Structure 1
Amino acid sequence: MSIDVREVTESDAPQWRGLYAGYRDFYHLPEDADAVETTWRWVSQREHGMIGLVAVAKADGSLLGLANLRRFARPSFAATGLYLDDLFTAPSARRRGVADSLLRAARERAAAEGANVVRWITAADNTTARSLYDQVATATSWVTYDMKPEGG
């Protein structure tokens, strides 16, 4: 399969929304059109330092996958990194190099912007994705915590 990776454009909105809804479903998040629309606005308008990438089939221009990245400061290194918030491949396009192409594009973007890392988290039981991640990145020893805001 021949794939191009590029930044999202306004014309990608309908297909991107479908992919992002699939991403949310994969992680058992409730259907939420507002969350999908808000995230689309963030990536398409580059709000909050977001960068929306899509994998596109060269044959017909259909979107095969998405990657949503954002810049973050790394004070301990006096550097910046790219955080990969979301990575998703359409079920019909899995095991065809889509995720690998998106990760390669994230790595190239980080290098072009002078970032010193691309970082992401995934579910411990996401073994299919982790088999790819283990080939292209190093799992860290860091444990992630979530703390609710006061009153939340």
Structure 2
Amino acid sequence: MTVSIREARDSDFFPWLSLYEGYASERGVELTEQRALQLWTWLSDPHHPETSLIALDEDGDVTGLVHFHTFPRPLLGETGVFIDAIHAREDTVAQELFRAVRDTAAAQGAAVIRWTQADGETLPRVLAEAGGAAASSAYVELQTTPQPA
């Protein structure tokens, strides 16, 4: 299968939504219309740090997505890239998406690519095959109450 990778466009919303709903469902998260539209707004804003790439098959159908953003690593004086979501209909498509993120990270001078996995979830094969390994066994999270804008 020939796959092309590019940034998501406005016309990709419904095929992207279908894939992202699958991603959310696999993680046991209810993807509300409000959440989906908020994320799409971020992805459509060239000034927002969240970026989306999509994979297209030979027919131009969207077959995969990846969302990621850069983050500072102040102690080391460098940056990294964090993958927020990667989802594809086939492993080969996920591999191509990951390569695209890796190429983007390298072009931006990022020193590391990070992602998280849900409790009990094994490292996605595409990331394990790329040399990914667990860097820590846990993270701490504190819920806050956002203030209205």
The two structures have a TM-score, normalised by structure 2, of 0.89
Give the superposition deviation at 1:150. 6.2
Give the superposition deviation at 1:99. 0.8
User: How do 1:31-110 and structure 2 match up within 5 A?
Assistant: 31-57=31-57, 59-89=58-88, 93-95=89-91, 97-110=92-105
Give the superposition deviation at 1:142. 4.7
1:138 to 112, 133, 136: 133
State whether residues 41 and 47 of structure 1, in contact with CA within 8 Å, keep that contact through their aligned partners in structure 2. Answer: no
CA–CA distance in 1 between the matches of 2:80 and 2:61? 29
Please report the RMSD computed on the Cα atoms of aligned residues, expressed in angstroms. 1.8
Rate the CA distance shift 1:47–1:6 in 2: closer, same or farther, 3 A.
same
CA–CA distance in 2 between the matches of 1:47 and 1:28? 30
Identity of aligned residues (%): 30
CA–CA distance in 2 between the matches of 1:31 and 1:108? 30
Structure 1 regions of 5+ residues with no counterpart?
A: none
Structure 1 runs of 4+ with >6 Å offset: none
CA–CA distance in 2 between the matches of 1:111 and 1:131? 21
Give the superposition deviation at 1:53. 0.5
CA–CA distance in 2 between the matches of 1:33 and 1:47? 23
**Going by fraction, where is helix more abundant, 1 or 2?**
1
Moved more, 45-54 or 97-106: 45-54
Q: Tell me the alpha carbon deviations over residues 87-130 of structure 1, each in whole angstroms, 9 at most, x when there is no partner.
A: 111xxx323x0111111000000011111111101124333x53
Rate the CA distance shift 1:24–1:42 in 2: closer, same or farther, 3 A.
same
Give the superposition deviation at 1:47. 4.7
State whether residues 17 and 37 of structure 1, in contact with CA within 8 Å, keep that contact through their aligned partners in structure 2. Answer: no
Give the superposition deviation at 1:26. 1.1
Q: Tell me the alpha carbon deviations over residues 2-30 of structure 1, each in whole angstroms, 9 at most, x when there is no partner.
A: 11111111111111111111111111111
The two structures have a TM-score, normalised by structure 1, of 0.87
State whether residues 64 and 98 of structure 1, in contact with CA within 8 Å, keep that contact through their aligned partners in structure 2. Answer: yes
